[in-house]
């Protein structure tokens, strides 16, 4: 079956994947760290944005953004990070996954730098006020924190950033080129209300409920 799928243009095993892509370079393997060095720590301190990848016990995946002032993720030591969880919409997708599956992947971005930092490991949800108090923002404590035990960390090359021209201000999408969130929700959810009213409510929450 595996050979048949490969012939049909699909890769169905690790062996087929490796055969198709070839062996990784020495550098791409050697750069992988099991702890955070000073370069990783400095990058995290500059990062205002990361993406959290998690999965539930069935392997169903989710990717969730987190953002705040640069350095909002605390580096506790070479092997541990603490990510504050701010006020949100209470879906708690990442949290629901984490209580079933403690594996986590993180992607840190820094505006203006094409390279990114990938970190993966184990995570637990903490409500410990001693840990959360230093991460207060806007006069409020985080609702919880993700305490990450680092197992792997390495810098991703900047090819994706260069191909996308991600940080070029001339490539920003002009206002009005894509519909507002209120317009999208009005189209997607029957009876929820007018787009204009929804947009006004969303903007008010952005002003008053970030923290």
Asked if residue 111 has pLDDT above 60, the reply is yes
How do residues 67-88 score in pLDDT, each as one tens digit? Answer: 999 999 999 999 999 999 998 8
100 contacts 135 by C-beta, under 8 angstroms: no
Let me know whether 46 and 80 are in one domain: yes
CA–CA distance, 186 with 104 (Å, rounded to integer): 34
Asked if residue 1 has pLDDT above 50, the reply is no
Asked if residue 6 has pLDDT above 50, the reply is yes
Residue with token string 């953002």:
67
Examine residue 41 and state whether it is found in any structural domain, yes or no. Answer: yes
Examine residue 11 and state whether it is found in any structural domain, yes or no. Answer: no
Q: How many CB atoms lie within 10 A of CB 192?
A: 13
Looking at the chain, the whole-number percentage of residues with pLDDT higher than 70 is 97
**pTM exceeding 0.85:** yes
Let me know whether 103 and 127 are in one domain: yes
Across the range 149-163, mean pLDDT stands at 97
Let me know whether 192 and 110 are in one domain: no
CA–CA distance, 153 with 190 (Å, rounded to integer): 44
Q: How many CB atoms lie within 10 A of CB 1?
A: 7
Let me know whether 185 and 146 are in one domain: no
Averaged pLDDT of the chain = 94
Let me know whether 90 and 178 are in one domain: no
Helix (H, G, I), strand (E, B) or coil at 182: helix
Let me know whether 152 and 89 are in one domain: yes
CA–CA distance, 156 with 139 (Å, rounded to integer): 35
Examine residue 78 and state whether it is found in any structural domain, yes or no. Answer: yes
Q: How many domains does the chain have?
A: 2
Let me know whether 128 and 91 are in one domain: yes
Across the range 35-53, mean pLDDT stands at 98
Looking at the chain, the whole-number percentage of residues with pLDDT higher than 90 is 87
Let me know whether 87 and 151 are in one domain: yes
pLDDT at 138: 87
Structure tokens at 211: 């923290």
Across the range 112-123, mean pLDDT stands at 98
Summarize the chain as % helix, strand, coil (round to 5).
35, 25, 40
Let me know whether 187 and 144 are in one domain: no
92 contacts 146 by C-beta, under 8 angstroms: no
Examine residue 138 and state whether it is found in any structural domain, yes or no. Answer: yes
CA–CA distance, 96 with 63 (Å, rounded to integer): 13
Domain containing residue 33 = 28-164
How do residues 126-145 score in pLDDT, each as one tens digit? Answer: 999 999 999 999 889 999 99
pLDDT at 117: 98
Asked if residue 17 has pLDDT above 60, the reply is yes
pLDDT at 89: 86
Let me know whether 148 and 196 are in one domain: no
Examine residue 125 and state whether it is found in any structural domain, yes or no. Answer: yes
pLDDT at 3: 52
How do residues 172-189 score in pLDDT, each as one tens digit? Answer: 999 889 999 999 999 999
Residue 211's nearest CA partner among 115, 137, 161 is: 137
Let me know whether 119 and 195 are in one domain: no
Structure tokens at 63: 């990717």
Residue with token string 């189209």:
187
Examine residue 129 and state whether it is found in any structural domain, yes or no. Answer: yes
pLDDT at 158: 96
Across the range 148-170, mean pLDDT stands at 96
Examine residue 35 and state whether it is found in any structural domain, yes or no. Answer: yes
CA–CA distance, 163 with 166 (Å, rounded to integer): 8
Of the pLDDT bands very low, low, confident and very high (cuts 50, 70, 90), residue 2 is very low
pLDDT at 4: 52
**71-74, Cβ contacts within 8 angstroms, sequence gap of 24 or more:** 71/44, 71/45, 71/46, 71/47, 72/48, 72/135, 72/137, 73/44, 73/47, 73/108, 74/134, 74/135
């Amino acid at each position: 079956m595996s050979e048949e799928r490969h012939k049909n243009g699909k890769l169905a095993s690790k062996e087929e994947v490796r055969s198709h892509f070839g062996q990784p370079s020495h550098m791409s393997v050697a750069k992988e760290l099991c702890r955070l060095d000073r370069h990783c720590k400095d990058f995290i301190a500059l990062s205002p944005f990361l993406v959290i990848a998690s999965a539930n016990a069935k392997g169903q995946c989710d990717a969730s953004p987190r953002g705040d002032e640069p350095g909002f993720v605390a580096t506790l030591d070479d092997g541990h990070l603490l990510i504050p969880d701010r006020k949100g919409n209470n879906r708690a997708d990442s949290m629901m996954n984490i209580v079933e599956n403690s594996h986590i992947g993180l992607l840190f971005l820094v505006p203006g730098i094409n390279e990114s930092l990938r970190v993966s490991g184990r995570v637990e949800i903490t409500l410990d006020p001693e840990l959360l108090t230093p991460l207060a923002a806007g006069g409020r404590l985080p609702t919880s924190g993700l305490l990450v035990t680092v197992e792997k960390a390495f810098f991703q090359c900047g090819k994706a950033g260069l191909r996308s021209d991600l940080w070029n201000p001339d490539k920003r999408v002009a206002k009005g080129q894509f519909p507002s969130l209120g317009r999208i929700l009005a189209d997607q959810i029957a009876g929820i209300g007018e787009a204009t009213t929804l947009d006004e409510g969303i903007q008010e929450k952005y002003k008053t409920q970030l923290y």
